[in-house]
Amino acid sequence: MTFSWILYLSALSTAAYASPLNSFEYDYIIVGGGTAGCVLANRLSANPSISVALVEAGPTVFNDSRVLIPSPAGPTWGTELDWNYTTIPQIYANNSILQYHAGRDVGGTSTINGMVYLRPTVDEVGSWSALGNPELSWDSLLPYFKKSEHLQLPTAPNASAKASYEASVHGFVGPVKVGWGNDLNPGEYGQALNTTWQSLGFSWNRDPNTGNNTGLALFPIEKDTVLQIRQDSARSYYLPVMGRPNLHAFTNTTALNVNLDGGKSHHGPQGLVVAKGVNVVLPSGKKQFLRSKQEVILSTGTYRTPGAIYNPSFTLESLTPSYNAKPMTGTLTAADLFGDELDTVAAQLYKDIPSYARTLSEASNGAISIQAQEQILLARANLFFKKNIAIGQYTFQIYGGNRWVTLPLSTENVHSSSDPAKPLLNPNFMQLPWDTLVMQRLFLVLRRILSAPSVQHALGPNATTELSPGYSLVPADASLPQWTSFFQSALAPTWHAVGSAVVYVGSR
């Protein structure tokens, strides 16, 4: 008996090794080999008796210089490596249609993004747990932040530029190489920003990844500082394990749909719909059914994964045309932005919550109840006014700064269209007046910073005039409606969508 039991086990594990290439049958099928998909492929296939298929529409790009060369604004944007999504006309922003980039290759959006390595804060994560996810907390996530990270310390001559970090919250042996950029020394402009920022009563933050990101900081990026290349998710998680016999990546392979019990939706033991596998189109053009023995995992990104709802953040044109990023970020709290008006502003937002909740619920066609929206908005308002977390962010560029509302209240929705590659993205930018108010305050503070004499001196004669919006379009004493119409004409997305989705479905 014992003997045959052992034989049976070993036959099973042989089958698991052999199956990926032959039978199109896998324990786990991961749809979307992007940022998250590569991590899942690595972790699940670490157990050699589990077979894993990774299905990715695009190619591998390990040697593509457009991906490799560290860059804050991608040479990949608008190429075959970008899904080229666009929004539907933005009714709160003069019907503008905005570009939404998303990576289409192994590594996904991590191969085309800005590489900025910044974590959420203790209180933001805490608010997720308060909304019904008790297993999520800063303390429960920190071990994974550390496990994934390989922090590379700045070396001479750049170490003198004062990059600082709190060793206890970082990892030093994980797969994701993190380090500071080459232009680390922020020079006269950086020094002037630092002193001006602090003279306005705002703080310097020696490490923005400790769970408190408030203040001005030199931020790290996802980069291999020895090879001087982008450290995307494919490089971190897929490249080192691509030879595993129990992991099969289908690249250039588009998933068409998840097969729910042979095409008919079927309700399993807990009323869950059960996925049997995925229909894909192979590079040859041939259709193929991949059968799952355990689970189908959808990780096709927020815009392509069904059930998504989320808050978009938006940014505005730089004050000047030059994009020469400096590795400084500054974040501010509501207290920083509103000063003496904080209490009045807070009282008004709490008062507006019921009507905001109604607007959001109606915009979702009732998919999210007014009551649920009220809970979400209340959690947000408490973060702003009780926890005093940062709500707006700048990245400082030479001659200017980008700025965005990090926790907008306007809420996006996504619907499918007849063309799966063109989901109907509706970020609803400027849907709720709160976001516009925060953006106005971010601009007012930025004007104070950039007009400080030391900053003006550092910028030099070419940058002493604000190019956009300019004081003639939006004067120093401009009203909120004047700012609003400028925002409507100039806003751009920052592409940091987050969403939720029904992702699970096992076959047992």
Ligand X SMILES: *[C@@H]1O[C@H](CO)[C@@H](O)[C@H](O)[C@H]1NC(C)=O
Ligand Y SMILES: Cc1cc2nc3c(=O)[nH]c(=O)nc-3n(C[C@H](O)[C@H](O)[C@H](O)COP(=O)(O)OP(=O)(O)OC[C@H]3O[C@@H](n4cnc5c(N)ncnc54)[C@H](O)[C@@H]3O)c2cc1C
CA distances from 413 to 193, 353, 416, 448 (A): 38, 19, 10, 36
> Residue 222 corresponds to which tokens in the numbers above?
């996802």
Round to whole Å and give the CA distance between 361 and 103: 31
Q: Cβ(25)–Cβ(293) under 8 Å?
A: yes
Tell me the window of 300-308, 349-357, 384-392, 445-453 that interacts with ligand Y (CB under 6 A). Answer: 300-308
* CB-based contacts of 41-44 (< 8 A; 24+ apart in sequence): 41/237, 41/238, 41/241, 41/247, 41/249, 42/175, 42/237, 42/238, 42/240, 42/241
Q: Which of ligand Y, ligand X, none does residue 174 bind to, with CB < 5 to 8 Å depending on kind?
A: none
Smallest separation (angstroms) from ligand Y to the CB of 117: 7
At 230, which amino acid appears? R
x/- letters, 238..257, toward ligand Y (CB under 6 A) = ----------------xx--
* Helix segments in 149-270, DSSP class H: 187-199, 233
CB of 56 to ligand Y, least distance (A): 5
Residue with tokens 């324990």: 27
Q: For residues 230 and 363, give the distance between their C-alpha atoms in angstroms, rounded to a whole number.
A: 39
Stretch that binds ligand Y, among 49-57, 59-67, 288-296, 428-436 (CB under 6 A): 49-57
Residue 500 contacts which entry, ligand X, ligand Y, none (Cβ below 5-8 A, type-dependent)? none
Please report, as residue ranges, which positions from 71 to 110 form the binding site for ligand Y (by CB under 6 A): 101-104, 108-110
Among 175, 179, 301, 400, binds ligand Y (CB under 6 A): 301
CB 122 within 8 A of CB 138: yes
> What does 255 interact with, of ligand Y, ligand X, none (CB < 5 to 8 A by kind)?
ligand Y
Q: Is 109 annotated as a binding residue?
A: yes
User: Nearest approach, Cβ of 209 to ligand Y (angstroms)?
Assistant: 11
Smaller CB separation from ligand Y, 29 or 334: 29
Identify residues 476-495 at the interface with ligand Y (CB under 6 A): 495
Out of 20, 58, 277, 469, which residue is the one contacting ligand Y (CB under 6 A)?
Answer: 58
When the beta carbons of 214 and 259 are compared against ligand X, the nearer one is 214
Question: Helix, strand, coil proportions of the chain in percent (round to 5)?
Answer: 35, 20, 45
To which residue do tokens 């769970």 refer?
Answer: 211
**Residue 378 corresponds to which amino acid?**
L
Q: Residues in the site for ligand X, rule: CB under 6 A?
A: 59, 62-63, 78-80, 82-84, 94, 104, 123, 155, 157-158, 162, 182-183, 185-186, 190-191, 194, 198, 203-204, 212, 214-215, 218, 251-252, 283, 387-389, 460, 462, 485, 488-489
The residue nearest ligand X at its CB is 489
Tell whether 462 is in a known binding site.
no
Q: 196 burial class (0-12, 13-18, 19+ CB within 10 angstroms)? A: buried
Integer Cα distance of 271 and 499 in angstroms: 23
Q: Where are the alpha helices (DSSP H) in 364-432?
A: 370-385
**Can residue 70 be called a binding residue for ligand Y (CB under 6 A)?**
no
- What stretch of H or E contains 215? strand 215-218
Nearest approach in angstroms of CB 266 to ligand X is 33
Is there a binding annotation on residue 114? yes
Q: Measured from the CB atom, is 137 or 279 closer to ligand Y? A: 279
Contact by Cβ (8 Å): 423, 303:
yes
Q: Which does 98 bind (CB under 5 to 8 A by kind): ligand X, ligand Y, none?
A: none
Q: Which stretch binds ligand Y (CB under 6 A): 113-121, 353-361, 378-386, 471-479?
A: 113-121
**Amino acid occupying residue 503:** V
114 binds ligand Y (CB under 6 A): yes
Q: What gap in Å lies between CA 85 and CA 412, rounded to an integer?
A: 15
Q: ∠ at Cα 214 (463, 165), nearest 5°? A: 95
**Beta carbon nearer to ligand X, 204 or 350:** 204
Handedness of CA 342, 402, 378, 485 (dihedral sign): positive
Q: Which does 279 bind (CB under 5 to 8 A by kind): ligand X, ligand Y, none?
A: none
Closest-by-Cβ residue to ligand Y is 34
- Known binding residue 116? Answer is yes
Answer yes or no whether residue 299 interacts with ligand Y by CB under 6 A: yes
Tokens describing residue 398: 């030479």
Taking CB under 6 A as the criterion, the residue among 60, 113, 127, 196 binding ligand Y is 113
Tokens coding 96: 């503008």
Nearest to 427 by CA among 406, 402, 405, 410: 410
Do 51 and 20 form a contact (C-beta atoms < 8 A)? yes
- 138 three-class SS: helix
102: partner contacted, choices ligand Y, ligand X, none (Cβ within 5-8 A by kind): ligand Y
Instruction: Write each residue from 13 to 42 as x if it is in contact with ligand Y (CB under 6 A), else as -, in one continuous string.
Output: ------------------xxxxxxx-----
Residue 55, interface with ligand Y (CB under 6 A)?
A: yes
Write down the least CB distance from residue 147 to ligand Y, Å.
17
Minimum CB separation from ligand X for residue 90, in Å? 11
Annotated binding site for FAD: 109, 113-116
Annotated binding site: 109, 113-116
Contact set with ligand Y (CB under 6 A): 31-37, 55-58, 101-104, 108-110, 112-116, 254-255, 299-302, 304, 495-496
